Amino acid sequence: MNKIKIKQCVYECINTVNQKDRLLQKQTRCFPVPHIRFDIRGKTAGMALLQRWELRFNPVLLDENLDAFLQEVVPHEICHLLAFAKFGHVRPHGQEWKNLMCHYFNLKPKTTHSFDVSSVLGKIFLYQCECGPLHLSIRRHNKVQRKEAQYICRVCKKQFLYSLSI
C-alpha triplet 151, 156, 159: angle, nearest 5°: 30
Active site annotation includes 64 = no
Are 47 and 56 within 8 A, CB to CB?
yes
18, 23, 24, 25: CA torsion to nearest 10: 80
95, 101, 97, 139: CA torsion to nearest 10: 120
Catalytic position from the list 72, 77, 96, 148 = 77
Give dist(CA 40, CA 51) in Å, integer. Answer: 18
Catalytic residue numbers read 77
